[in-house]
């Protein structure tokens, strides 16, 4: 297999955008991803959030940053996501 065929075989990875809520761990951030879901009975949109642990190799993120994370192989017991980019830095 050549390098070109290896890169074309790689599947599109899931990407999520969220806010960093914790950066206290070494090379790890906790990202809260909020989405809107329609309630099955009342048909009203409800905000649902979930927290993901993501790998931040250079520890660039701080609390309040808006980041994009991508899915990847398991890096530890809870980490299956990696930091792709910092979309907006927190003010202050």
CATH classification of the domain holding 32: 2.40.50.140
Looking at residue 1, its pLDDT comes to 53
**What is the CB-side half-sphere exposure of residue 8 using CA atoms within 13 A?**
5
pLDDT confidence of residue 8: 61
Residues of the chain below pLDDT 70? 1-10
Give the count of domains, the chain: 1
pLDDT, residue 7, reads 57
Q: How far is residue 46's CA from residue 27's CA, in Å, rounded to a whole number? A: 32
For residue 74, is it within any domain?
yes
Q: What was the pLDDT predicted at 51?
A: 98
Question: Considering the domain boundaries, does residue 24 fall inside one?
Answer: yes
Does any domain span residue 56?
yes
What's the pLDDT at 6?
A: 57
Query: How many degrees, rounded to 5, is the angle at CA 61 between CA 58 and CA 67?
Result: 115
Residue 23 within any structural domain of the chain = yes
pLDDT at residue 12, as a whole number:
86
Say if 36 falls within a structural domain: yes
Domain extent, residue 77, equals: 11-88
Q: What is the pTM of this model?
A: 0.84
How far apart, in whole angstroms, are the C-alpha atoms of residue 14 and residue 3? 23
């Amino acid at each position: 297999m050549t390098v070109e065929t290896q890169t074309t075989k790689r599947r599109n990875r899931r990407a999520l955008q969220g806010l960093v809520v914790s950066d206290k761990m070494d090379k790890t951030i906790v990202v809260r991803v909020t989405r809107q879901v329609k309630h099955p009975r009342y048909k009203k949109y409800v905000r649902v959030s979930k927290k993901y642990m993501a790998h931040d190799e250079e520890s660039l993120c701080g609390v309040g940053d808006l980041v994009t994370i991508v899915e990847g192989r398991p890096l530890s017991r809870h980490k299956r996501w990696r930091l792709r980019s910092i979309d907006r830095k927190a003010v202050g």
